[in-house]
A and B are shown apart, each in its own frame.
Chain A
Amino acid sequence: MASIEMKNIVKQYGDGFAAVNDVSLDIADGEFMILVGPSGSGKSTLLRMIVGLEDITSGDMMIGGKRVNDLAPRDRNLSMVFQNYALYPHMTVYENIAFPLRLSKTSDDEVRRRVTAASDVLELNDHLERKPANLSGGQRQRVAMGRAIVRQAEAFLFDEPLSNLDAKLRGQMRTEISRLQRRLGITTVYVTHDQTEAMTLGDRVCVLRKGKIQQVASPRELYEQPINLFVAGFIGSPPMNFLPATPEGDRLKTPFGDVRIDPARAGKLGGHDLLMVGIRPEYFEDASLVDEAKRHLGSTFRARVDVTEWLGDSQFAYIPYEAPEAITTQLRALSRELDAEELRTQAIVSIDSTSRIREGREAEFWLDSRKVHVFDPETGDNLTRDAEAGAELTRMATQDRVEQVQESQDRASADGHRMGGATAASA
């Protein structure tokens, strides 16, 4: 296993178009890194440069501290998982996992050791002697993962592996991949356009836009401290609401009334006449259900509800609002870029599922102003981002990962000792 470091990576095509533009990214040994972004963001191109499928125009690609720019894909010893998922009918599950080793003339003992270890992790032990025809969809995918494991590659690479699976198998495989990565502690790079996959799988997520890195952070940091409008709009479902706002001292005048900002953050907003305030759906609540003790931490406003959606465990209300041209233009551009449906000027608000707020009527809402972010509508920059708080979130995630990888390695070495003992005893 190895770290992957990218230094000022550029992929420029003959016509001068830069699909990847000056990307520097360090992926630690054992880390699960997600490359995410809408189509045209360069995420797949970047993965292909790691694999060796695309020539690198400039910059350094380092795997395990070694520069691999000029190495053939095979010599980089990486494993593209799920690329070969043909199952061979006459071979047992054991042989279906083992064949890459057979082809590289690995000794029978070593084949047995690696296949047994892989099938332990994948819980395929009971199926090893069966023919693949009898396997379920999920088990078949696990055989494909087994092939990747026995190669003992430096890293696993996934290129939108779940996009062709049905919804049920997709959910199942997401859990499976996550569990497996932790148990093996193997460096993993995973490309997706699906932000749910990005948020649930990655230790860190690298958000790309038009070939450039926007932000590399833990899912929580991306969610709570997005660097700009693009990241804020891309991460989260339902998406963050963006309202027009004009600053007045420590207040922002918005279509949903005045929102008070703490002085430290308000101080960062000077020099702007028009701003955009970003509020996640869950920062709202039905005012009648808010605990008195925390009511003063936010503001309340009255608005007419267009539609409500009751989902049993949660409920959403849709509230239309007016916005000036400068803001709607910006929002339209953003939604186009995110491949989203037309962003309408209506807020999506999460309210308690017991709320009696009904559509077509006016209601009173409460808004938690502590967590809102304020963006410059022209540059998209997040003016209220707390970099230190964000970094702390990512530090915590990194610490979790290091501990988990350590635990899995301790477990593996304990298993190794057991196996070593058994071999000695049988010899």
Chain B
Amino acid sequence: MRFLFRPPAAEATGLLTLPWGEPLEKWDPDLLLEVPQRGISRHVVRFVASGAHVFALKEINERLARHEYALLSQFEQEGLPTVSVLGICVDRPGDQEAILVTRYLEYSMSYRWLFSSPRAGHSAERLLDTMVELLVRLHLAGVFWGDCSLSNTLFRPDAGALAAHMVDAETVERHPSLSRGQRAYDVDLARERVGAELLDLQFGGLLPAGIDPIEVAEGLPPRYEALWDEVTHEQVFGVEEQQWRVTERLRRLNDLGFDVGEIELITSPEGAKLRVETRVAEPGQHRRELLRLTGLEVQERQARRLLNDIVTFRAHLEQKSGRPVAESLAAQRWLAEVYQPVVEAIPPQLAGRLAPAEVFHEVLEHRWFLSEKARRDVGTAEAARSYVATVLPQTPAEVTTPSVRAGLTPES
């Protein structure tokens, strides 16, 4: 047998003792982790814990495994929203298929739960928008997915919104850029798969009555077209209005969750032609800033929310002391005095249902809600107490992230 791991893979050494020579289906259940809310897969997929991490193992033809391993590694380096791949195991005895090992995306949720749980509070429209954003991002990067479906997408709550990640790159083709036909075909495949997956939920009695699978699926292509057009269209305008037009376009792209790499402005007597090159990587400016200030690793929207709270906290410190407070100092005090107490307020039996940063975001929302009712600022501590008593328990135990369920302590 041969193991190919991508460094840093120190976390993976614990995996080496697993019975790789045996078919995944025959592995001792004691070695495995139950992950109840997964999508449909045509392969045998199992989950294991090692060190502080959870890994997904997929049994798959060696050619496809190597293909997927290479692509996912590449995507991760480019900052595309995909799962992180650890490695593959090939040359297993008895001509068995290879195994692809990916890192489990902590706090992710499958569409099955998002659609069937009323607590989720995420509308079908929002789910579709998230998925379409992912598809546009991949298409901009020249990635033809070939199997875009809800099952192959994982959703993570991100400050009240959702972020989508690609989990299956088996059918993916990488091109310098995609033709119109390739994009149209990919979108059409996505439309059909989403429709089928929702129909399947409906047949299983798992879809809320208000959702029509066919209508939702049909909504996908126009949403995609609209976003693709927003992100890529060339604009022509008069030279005198170019300044605000450029600003407006950049703001619009940022609002849609995209960063701009390069702007090309061609002027001629007829006017100015604006072309923007949209960055394919997920925006990470706030994430990096928060990591620098606090060492916390969270998602982009969560980071923006937390940074805003740090700004407010700093202003409060400056007001109290009557002199300037350094940003780094404010951030350290915020971490110790504001953030950590909220995270520590989560009782063990409710831990792992939402990422700590998401809990913090929800506590801030809850504080606003309570304060409005009480007509005074109730403060974060009181909001946190009320939140863990009344709101958090509504997120069911089944979505507890596997690493917490397994008693491991993930960093984020």
Contact = CB atoms under 8 A, between A and B. Distances in A.
Interface stretch (A95-103, A224-232, A306-314, A358-366): A95-103
Interface string A178-214: 0000000000000000000000000000000000000
Contacts of A72: 180-181, 184
A53 B181 CA distance: 5
Given A95-B199, A102-B214, A103-B214, A87 B181 contact: no
Given A72-B184, A73-B188, A86-B151, A53 B196 contact: no
B176 to A, nearest CB: 8
A52 interface: yes
Contacts of B282: none
A86 B193 contact: yes
A381 to B, nearest CB: 36
A90 B188 contact: no
A99 B200 CA distance: 10
B192 A90 contact: no
Contacts of B195: 99, 102-103
Given A53-B179, A53-B182, A89 B214 contact: no
B199 A83 contact: no
Interface in A60-117: 72-74, 83-91, 95, 99-100, 102-103, 105
A54 interface: yes
Given A73-B188, A83-B146, A103-B192, A88 B199 contact: yes
B204 interface: yes
Q: Identify which of A73, A84, A89 gathers the most chain B CB atoms within 10 Å of its CB.
A: A73
Interface string B178-221: 01111011001101110111011101101000000010010000
What's the dominant secondary structure at chain A's contact region? loop
A54 B42 contact: no
Given A53-B181, A103-B196, A164-B63, A83 B40 contact: no
Interface in B136-184: 146, 149, 151, 179-182, 184
Contact of A54 (B40, B179, B192): B179
Given A99-B199, A164-B63, A84 B189 contact: yes
B42 A86 contact: yes
Contacts of B182: 53-54
A86 B181 CA distance: 23
Contacts of A163: 63
B64 A88 contact: no
Nearest to B39: A86
B179 A55 contact: yes
Nearest to A54: B179
A51 interface: yes
A308 to B, nearest CB: 28
Contacts of B201: 90
A86 B40 contact: yes
Interface residues of A, number: 25
Q: Identify which of B196, B199, B203, B217 gathers the most chain A CB atoms within 10 Å of its CB.
A: B196
Q: Identify which of A84, A87, A91, A103 gathers the most chain B CB atoms within 10 Å of its CB.
A: A103
Contacts of A86: 40, 42, 149, 151, 193, 196
A395 B217 CA distance: 48
A216 B302 CA distance: 61
Contacts of B200: 88-91
A372 B228 CA distance: 60
A350 to B, nearest CB: 29
B386 interface: no
Contacts of A99: 195-196, 199
A86 B43 CA distance: 10
Nearest to A131: B203
Nearest to B206: A90
Contacts of B206: 90
Contacts of B151: 86
B61 interface: yes
B192 A53 contact: no
A90 B203 contact: yes
Interface of A: 51-55, 72-74, 83-91, 95, 99-100, 102-103, 105, 163-164
Shortest 4 CB-CB distances between A and B: which pairs?
A: A90-B204, A88-B200, A90-B203, A52-B181
9 contacts: A72-B181, A72-B184, A74-B185, A86-B151, A90-B200, A90-B201, A100-B192, A103-B217, A164-B63
Given A74-B185, A87-B40, A89-B200, 16 more contacts: A53-B185, A54-B179, A54-B181, A55-B179, A73-B185, A86-B40, A86-B196, A87-B42, A88-B40, A89-B40, A90-B200, A90-B201, A90-B206, A99-B195, A102-B195, A103-B195
